[in-house]
Amino acid sequence: MRIDSPAALERYCEEVKEKKAKYPYRVSVCGGTGCQAFNCLEVYEALVESIKENDLEEEVELKLTGCHGFCEMGPLMYFQPMGTFYAKVDPKDVNDIVVATILQEGEVEKYLYRDPVSGEKIHHREEIPFYKKQVRLLLGINHLIRPQVIDDYLALDGYKALAKVLFEMTPEEVIEAVERAGLRGRGGAGFPTARKWRICREAPSPDGIKYIICNADEGDPGAYMDRSLLEGNPHAVIEGMAIGAYAIGACEGYVYVRHEYPLALRNLLVALDQAREMNLLGKDIMGSGFDFDIKVAVGGGAFVCGEETALIASIEGKRGMPRPRPPYPAVKGLWGRPTNINNVETWENVPLIIRMGPEKFAEIGTENSKGTKIFSLVGKINNTGLVEVPMGITLREIIYDIGGGIPGNKAFKAVQTGGPSGGCIPAEHLDIQVDFESLQGIGSMMGSGGMIVMDENTCMVDIAKYFMKFLCEESCGKCVPCRVGTKRMLEILTKICDGEGTPEDLEALEVLAADIKAASLCALGGTAPNPVLTTLRYFRHEYEEHIYNKKCPAGVCPALITIKIDPEKCNGCGACAKVCPVNAISGEKKQPHVVDPELCIRCKVCMDRCRQEAIYAE
Amino acid sequence: MKSVSITIDGKAVEVPADYTILQAAREAGISIPTLCHDERLEPFGACRVCVVKVEGARALLPACATPVSEGMRIWTDLEEVRRARRTVIELLLSDHPNDCMVCERSGSCELQDLAYEYGVREPRFQGERHTYEVLDDNPLIERDYNKCIVCGRCVRICREVQGVGVYDFINRGFDAIPGTPYGRSLPETPCEFCGQCVSTCPTGALVSIPYKGKGRAWQVTKVRTTCPYCGCGCQVDLHVRDGKVVGASSPVMVGPGQGNLCVKGRYGYEFIHHPDRLTRPMVRKGGELVEVSWDEALDEVAGRLKEIMEENGPDSVAFLCSARCTNEENYLLQKLARAVVGTNNVDHCARL
Ligand SMILES: Cc1cc2nc3c(=O)[nH]c(=O)nc-3n(C[C@H](O)[C@H](O)[C@H](O)COP(=O)(O)O)c2cc1C
Ligand code: SF4
Ligand code: SF4
Ligand code: SF4
Ligand code: SF4
Ligand code: SF4
Ligand code: SF4
Ligand code: FES
Ligand code: FES
The domain spanning residue B38 has which CATH number?
3.10.20.740
pLDDT tens, residue by residue, B303-321:
999 999 999 999 999 999 8
- Find the A587 Cα to ligand 3 centroid distance in Å: 9
Cβ distance of B176 and A478 shorter than 8 Å: yes
pLDDT tens, residue by residue, A446-501:
988 999 999 999 999 999 999 999 999 999 999 999 999 999 999 999 999 999 99
State which amino acid sits at residue B8: I
- The pLDDT assigned to A100 comes to 96
| B294 and B269 within one domain | no
Top-level CATH class of A460-548? mainly alpha
| B172 and B221 within one domain | yes
* Domains of chain A by residue range: 13-132+140-144, 158-360, 372-455, 460-548, 562-617
Q: What distance in Å separates the CA atoms of residue A182 and residue A360, rounded to the nearest whole number? A: 11
Nearest-5° Cα angle at B94, A493 to A306:
60
**Strand A412-417 to A423-426 pairing:** antiparallel
- Find the A215 Cα to ligand 1 centroid distance in Å: 7
pLDDT tens, residue by residue, B154-188:
999 999 999 999 999 999 999 999 999 999 999 99
Chain A, chain B: beta-carbon pairs less than 8 Å apart: 114
Average pLDDT, chain A: 96
Find the domain containing B167 and state its range. 125-273
Q: Shortest CB distance from B62 goes to which of A319, A324, A517? A: A324
Is the N-terminal amide bond of B178 cis, ω within 30° of 0? no
Backbone angles phi, psi at B49, to 5 degrees: -85, -10
* Closest residue on chain B to A514 (Cα): B84
Q: What distance in Å separates the CA atoms of residue B341 and residue A211, rounded to the nearest whole number? A: 67
Q: What distance in Å separates the CA atoms of residue A143 and residue A280, rounded to the nearest whole number? A: 23
| Domain with residues A562-617, CATH architecture | 2-Layer Sandwich (3.30)
**Residue A178: strand, helix, or coil:** helix
- The pLDDT assigned to B351 comes to 64
Answer yes or no: is B109 within a domain: no
Q: Shortest CB distance from A519 goes to which of B60, B124, B173? A: B60
Put the strands of the sheet holding A84-86 in their side by side order: A60-65, A25-30, A77-80, A84-86
How many residues are listed for chain A in this entry?
A: 618
Q: What distance in Å separates the CA atoms of residue B101 and residue B54, rounded to the nearest whole number? A: 38
Closest ligand 1 atom, residue A186 Cα: 27
DSSP class of A289? S
| Domain with residues A13-132+140-144, CATH architecture | 3-Layer(aba) Sandwich (3.40)
Cβ distance of B169 and A323 shorter than 8 Å: no
CA distances in angstroms from A525 to A105, A483, B156, listed in the order given: 58, 8, 23
Nearest protein Cα to ligand 3, atom 8: A570
Cβ distance of B45 and A319 shorter than 8 Å: no
| B267 and B325 within one domain | no
| B296 and B330 within one domain | yes
Q: Within 13 Å and on the Cβ side, how many CA atoms surround A516?
A: 32
- Find the B192 Cα to ligand 6 centroid distance in Å: 6
State which amino acid sits at residue A468: M
**For ligand 9, is residue B37 a contact (CB within 6 Å)?**
yes
**Residue A398: strand, helix, or coil:** helix
Q: Determine the straight-line distance between the first and last CA of chain A, rounded to whole angstroms.
A: 69
| B266 and B132 within one domain | yes
| B182 and B230 within one domain | yes
- The pLDDT assigned to A586 comes to 94
| Cβ atoms < 10 Å from Cβ of A125 | 23
| B180 and B73 within one domain | no
Of B273, B291, B315, which residue sits at a domain end?
B273
CATH of the domain at B266: 3.30.70.20
Nearest protein Cα to ligand 4, atom 7: A580
The ipTM is 0.92
| B259 and B142 within one domain | yes
Of B249, B273, B297, which residue sits at a domain end?
B273
Q: Give the list of residues 6+ apart from residue A175 with CB closer than 8 angstroms, or none.
A: A194, A197, A198, A201, A247
Helices A530-538, A503-519: inter-axial angle, 10-degree rounding? 140
| Residue A388 zone, left/alpha/beta (φ > 0; ψ -120 to 50; rest) | beta
Q: Which residues of B touch A529 (CB under 8 A)?
A: none
Of A28, A29, A30, best ligand 8 pocket probe by most atoms within 8 Å of the beta carbon = A30
| B267 and B300 within one domain | no
pLDDT tens, residue by residue, B249-259:
999 999 999 99
Answer yes or no: is B13 within a domain: yes
Q: What distance in Å separates the CA atoms of residue A69 and residue A125, rounded to the nearest whole number? A: 12
Shortest-distance ligand to the CA of residue A189: 1
Per-10-residue mean pLDDT for chain A, 618 residues long? Answer: 95 96 96 94 97 95 96 95 96 96 94 90 94 96 97 97 98 98 94 98 97 95 93 98 98 97 97 98 97 97 96 97 96 98 98 97 96 96 95 97 93 94 94 94 90 96 97 98 98 97 96 97 96 96 97 95 94 94 94 94 93 92
Judge contact between A238 and A273, C-beta under 8 A. no
pTM: 0.93
Q: List beta partners, residue A340.
A: A212
Identify which of B250, B245, B210 has the alpha carbon closest to the alpha carbon of residue B232: B250
**Residue A440: strand, helix, or coil:** helix
Judge contact between A349 and A236, C-beta under 8 A. no
**CATH T-level assignment (fold) for domain A372-455:** Ubiquitin-like (UB roll) (3.10.20)
Q: Is the pLDDT of residue B55 over 60?
A: yes
- The pLDDT assigned to B78 comes to 97
State which amino acid sits at residue A332: K
Cβ distance of A521 and B128 shorter than 8 Å: no
Q: What distance in Å separates the CA atoms of residue A595 and residue A605, rounded to the nearest whole number? A: 13
- Find the B91 Cα to ligand 9 centroid distance in Å: 15
Of B273, B290, B311, which residue sits at a domain end?
B273
* Closest residue on chain B to A319 (Cα): B169
State which amino acid sits at residue B110: E
Judge contact between B248 and B265, C-beta under 8 A. yes
Q: What distance in Å separates the CA atoms of residue B240 and residue B136, rounded to the nearest whole number? A: 25
Nearest-5° Cα angle at B77, A327 to B153:
50
Based on C-alpha coordinates, what's the Rg of chain A?
Answer: 27
Q: What distance in Å separates the CA atoms of residue A560 and residue B348, rounded to the nearest whole number? A: 81
What is the CA A70 to chain-centroid distance, rounded? 12
Mean pLDDT of B118-131: 92
| B168 and B56 within one domain | no
Top-level CATH class of A158-360? alpha beta
Number of domains in chain B: 3
Answer yes or no: is B119 within a domain: no
Q: What distance in Å separates the CA atoms of residue A413 and residue A430, rounded to the nearest whole number? A: 10
Q: Which residues of B touch A473 (CB under 8 A)?
A: 172-173
| Residue B183 zone, left/alpha/beta (φ > 0; ψ -120 to 50; rest) | left
| B248 and B226 within one domain | yes
| B182 and B160 within one domain | yes
**For ligand 8, is residue A227 a contact (CB within 6 Å)?**
no
Identify which of B94, B95, B93, B88 has the alpha carbon closest to the alpha carbon of residue B51: B88
Distance from CA of A525 to the nearest CA of B (A): 11
Q: Is the pLDDT of residue B352 over 70?
A: no
Question: Burial level of A238, CB count in 10 A (0-12/13-18/19+)?
Answer: buried
Percent of chain A topping pLDDT 90: 95
CA distances in angstroms from A337 to A252, A329, A361, B156, listed in the order given: 11, 8, 32, 22
- The pLDDT assigned to A336 comes to 97
Cβ distance of A519 and B59 shorter than 8 Å: yes
**Residue A423: strand, helix, or coil:** strand
Q: Shortest CB distance from B65 goes to which of A324, A480, A483? A: A324
| Residue B139 zone, left/alpha/beta (φ > 0; ψ -120 to 50; rest) | alpha
- Find the B299 Cα to ligand 2 centroid distance in Å: 71
**Residue A350: strand, helix, or coil:** helix
Percent of chain B topping pLDDT 70: 99
